[in-house]
Amino acid sequence: MALTGAAPSPDGVRPPQNAQTLAMFADFPGHTDYLEEPDFLSVSGLDKLLNKRVTLDRRVEATDTGFVVAYPSLNTAELTRTKELYDGERNASGGGRPVVVCNGELERTRSNYYPPFWNATEMGPLRGFAKEFEGIYFIHNFKGSNPAVLFRSYPGPWQVIRRRRGTNTMEVVHTQADYPGIQKVALEILPKHL
């Protein structure tokens, strides 16, 4: 389980306090850790250049029974670390332990949201990883005067659900089989259903 919900940026600087999602796991009896070690070598990427990188699947404890990875989407390194953990568990004798990913930007990684030339050495394997990962739910909140949610309960259809403020009710205003994309929902679908 992650210690915080926001990792340092590539230059090693943490986001402002008000931008961090702080984990509140003081009473959690299990082990918590970082996807990326919060040290100079890992944050700067020198661990790769100096061949000092320790894969995440080698850092896990034999007594761990499962893994929860929250928001591995700040940069491709976090998704790469999640893939290392998943691959290590999948290849483990006995079938491995479950890896649960919360809000991992998997739809963006599955699609061609990131151009093929951008971080090509990491994005190719990550696209394959995201496609084989079994999704359970997708939720993207749209805030504002007319809030809505892009929702999917896999393997069901994608739904745009609008909350009506006056009556405090929920209404499915759009359904489709394939991923519509955040921009299309915001600019084309939601304006039709004010």
- Give which of 88, 107, 106 is closest to 98, Cα–Cα: 88
Give the separation between CA 177 and CA 120, rounded to whole angstroms: 29
Q: How far is CA 163 from the centre of its chain?
A: 25
Number of domains in the chain: 2
Same domain? 87 vs 61: yes
Give the residue from 134, 157, 185 where a domain finishes.
Answer: 134
Say which residue the tokens 């190719």 belong to: 124
pTM, entire model: 0.63
Q: 94 lies in which domain range?
A: 17-134
Q: Report pLDDT digits (tens) over 94-149.
A: 667 888 887 666 767 777 677 767 777 777 788 888 877 777 888 888 888 778 99
Residue 114 belongs to a domain: yes
Q: Report pLDDT digits (tens) over 28-87.
A: 677 777 777 767 777 677 877 888 877 776 778 888 888 888 777 666 777 888 888 888
Same domain? 115 vs 149: no
Same domain? 76 vs 144: no
